[in-house]
């Protein structure tokens, strides 16, 4: 009961804090709905351009506002495994729309970059900013004002948050998110990680490493570890933006296609032309975002969402803070162990009962808001199900199993892996930071050690190769924040620090950059804000300073007297090398406009 009261209190706190912004937002949605609820506001010339390639029957129907028109926003490309399956979705969606008397058009495409391809490369410095570009690209597609609802085809790291920001910006339109699903299980993630460590130590060659990576990432679909991409899918379902049970069904299967058809028909059923009008901006509220944060904690999800959820909420006029996320962590137990928080992958999680089981457990304990609106209708209880393929090829749903199929992967509430969630916010004289605790062993959650300071992840990796990273230490990697260089993920540090930790050294990381959602076993205080380039305290740390990282107490301190720390000059870094090449010169405006990590690291004025 205490946890339930805490959830309610935090939700009410968010509601009161957001009241003025939320009212302004809902007012804009109401105005947009009145002005753009049908295509009659378009001139004949506007319409002629908008339906030039449609059939005569479709032109007549669209011109008279007789049928709903569904806009498709797609992140399809055929280089990335997670988004390649979307190639066939538009045709499937158009066919399904036609079956219920609707029309569907591809409204626009958005870029979908892969952090897996760009890790440690210059392109990674565009990754976080791609979220805002995606929101802008989707807005351009929807700006034609031809649509009564939209479906969003997206899966991975920045793509889904960007699409959510766009959907909420066009909050007068109903929105259904349509996933592609995870790839089938390949080489286990822990075995892949072992080969990476052997390669870093010079005990395995490039050919062996490439073979392991290729066996792990081997076909269409999302990577199978529980990083940002699969955390996205969990969020879309627990926030009611997917149809029930849609998240973790593999691509290229009859059930996947049936779910896509069903999502299409549902999107058409909730337009203003029918009796179940469900504009997404009214549907998603404070309770929806609290449910999303609860799901993130209960599953040990990606730290990236401590940034994305704040930016997404801001797009709906809601002010969510790191403190809210941290306080919710204290009320939510960890119920899932999926790599890097365990050995299982998302396919194992799904087979053990998946989101349906998890949602049911959390609802029964009052840890989720049940009284929300979703694309499926009223209440979250209909999501406590498993989706299956019926004999006629349609989707049928059964109540989620009462018992987990594997309690080592998915625990019932009474047998939670830990009493608190997988993420925690740290505070101290270095500012604020985020740490993912779900994959860190309890005995490693408190580290006090001297600092080794670097201005890039390359600097630390070079020190590792030189053999100078001896003894216990806390690596400080600074000038990696959003204003400095776009806040790239520093995933390549995971292997090096993991090797040192396995050798018996007590190590940790403190950085104003990001870490991949696949990272975890080394304690890492990330997203440190204020960042170094804004003269944050992280820029005053010297080699040898003692840092204390206490994930249990939620503190991050450099043990230097306050007056001495304040008098130190902040370090400077030559960032000219981060300003050009691989398109980085096109993003100079983003680096100037971007807000702090704890404000969503957005280049928009909404966060």
- Annotated binding residues for [4Fe-4S] cluster: 156, 223
Question: Which pair of tokens denotes residue 580?
Answer: 């050009």
Q: Longest C-alpha distance within the chain, in Å?
A: 77
H-helix segments, 467-530: 482-485, 492-502
All residues at 6 or more sequence positions from 445 whose CB lies less than 8 Å from its CB, including other chains: 437, 523, 550, 551, 552
- Binding-site residue positions: 156, 223
Phi–psi pair at 104, nearest 5 degrees = -135, 140
What is the Cα–Cα distance from 161 to 308, expressed in whole angstroms? 6
Contact yes or no for 417/334 (Cβ under 8 A): yes
Distance of CA 450 to the CA centre of its chain: 33
Contact yes or no for 129/159 (Cβ under 8 A): no
* Residue showing tokens 């059964």: 398
Contact yes or no for 476/547 (Cβ under 8 A): yes
Here the contacts of 576-585 (C-beta below 8 Å, separation 24 or greater) are 578/125, 578/484, 578/485, 578/486, 581/122, 582/121, 582/122, 582/123, 582/125, 582/126, 583/123, 583/126, 584/122, 584/125, 584/126, 584/486
What is the Cα–Cα distance from 140 to 132, expressed in whole angstroms? 13
Strand-pair partners of 172: none
Contact yes or no for 420/329 (Cβ under 8 A): yes
């Amino acid at each position: 009961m205490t946890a339930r009261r805490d959830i309610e209190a935090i939700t009410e706190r968010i509601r009161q804090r957001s009241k003025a912004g939320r009212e302004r937002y809902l007012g804009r949605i109401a105005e947009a709905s009145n002005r753009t609820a049908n295509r009659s506001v378009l001139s004949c010339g506007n319409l002629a351009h908008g339906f030039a390639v449609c059939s005569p029957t479709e032109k007549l129907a669209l011109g008279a506002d007789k049928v709903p028109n569904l806009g498709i926003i797609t992140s399809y490309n055929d280089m990335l495994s997670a988004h390649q399956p979307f190639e066939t979705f538009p045709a499937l969606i158009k066919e399904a729309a036609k079956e219920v008397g609707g029309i569907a058009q591809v409204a626009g495409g958005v870029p979908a970059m892969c952090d897996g391809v760009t890790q440690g490369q210059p392109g990674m410095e565009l990754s976080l900013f791609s979220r805002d570009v995606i929101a802008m690209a989707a807005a351009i597609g929807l700006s034609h004002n031809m649509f009564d609802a939209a479906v969003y085809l997206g899966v991975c790291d920045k793509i889904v948050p960007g699409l959510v920001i766009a959907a909420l910006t066009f909050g007068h339109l109903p929105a259904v998110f349509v996933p592609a699903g995870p790839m089938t299980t390949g080489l286990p993630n822990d075995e892949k990680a072992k080969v990476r460590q052997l390669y870093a130590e010079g005990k395995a060659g490039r050919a062996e490493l490439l073979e392991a990576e290729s066996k792990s990432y081997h076909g269409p679909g999302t990577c199978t570890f529980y990083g940002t991409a699969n955390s996205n899918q969990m969020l879309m379902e627990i926030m009611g933006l997917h149809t029930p049970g849609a998240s973790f069904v593999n691509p290229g299967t009859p059930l996947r296609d049936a779910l896509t058809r069903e999502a299409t028909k549902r999107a058409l059923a909730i337009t203003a032309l029918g009796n179940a009008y469900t504009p997404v901006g009214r549907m998603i509220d404070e309770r929806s975002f609290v449910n999303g944060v609860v799901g993130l904690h209960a599953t040990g999800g990606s730290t990236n969402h401590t940034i994305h959820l704040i930016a997404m909420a801001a797009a709906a006029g809601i002010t969510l803070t790191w403190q809210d996320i941290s306080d919710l962590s204290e009320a939510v137990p960890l119920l899932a162990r999926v790599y890097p928080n365990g050995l299982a992958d998302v396919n194992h999680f799904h087979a053990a009962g998946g989101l349906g089981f998890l949602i049911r457990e959390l609802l029964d304990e009052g840890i989720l808001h049940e009284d929300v609106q979703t694309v499926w209708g009223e209440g979250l209880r209909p999501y406590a199900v498993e989706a299956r393929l019926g004999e006629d090829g349609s989707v049928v749903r059964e109540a989620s199993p009462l018992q987990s199929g594997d309690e080592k992967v998915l625990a019932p509430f009474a047998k939670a892996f830990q009493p608190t969630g997988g993420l925690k916010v740290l505070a101290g004289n270095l500012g604020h930071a985020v740490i993912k605790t779900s994959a860190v062993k309890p005995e490693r959650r408190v580290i006090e050690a001297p600092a080794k300071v670097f201005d890039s992840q390359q600097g630390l990796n070079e020190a590792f190769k030189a053999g100078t990273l001896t003894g216990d230490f806390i690596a400080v990697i600074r000038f990696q924040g959003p204003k400095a260089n776009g806040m790239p993920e520093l995933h390549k540090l995971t292997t090096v620090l993991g090797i040192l930790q396995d050798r018996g050294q007590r190590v940790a990381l403190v950085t104003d950059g990001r870490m991949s959602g696949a990272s975890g076993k080394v304690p890492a205080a990330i997203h440190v804000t204020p960042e170094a380039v804004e003269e944050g305290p992280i820029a005053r740390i010297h080699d040898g300073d003692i840092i204390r990282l206490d994930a249990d107490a939620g503190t991050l301190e450099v043990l230097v007297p306050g007056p001495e720390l304040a008098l130190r000059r902040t370090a400077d870094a030559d960032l000219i090398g981060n300003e050009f090449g691989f398109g980085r010169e096109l993003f100079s405006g983003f680096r100037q406009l971007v807000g702090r990590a704890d404000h969503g690291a957005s280049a928009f004025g909404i966060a």
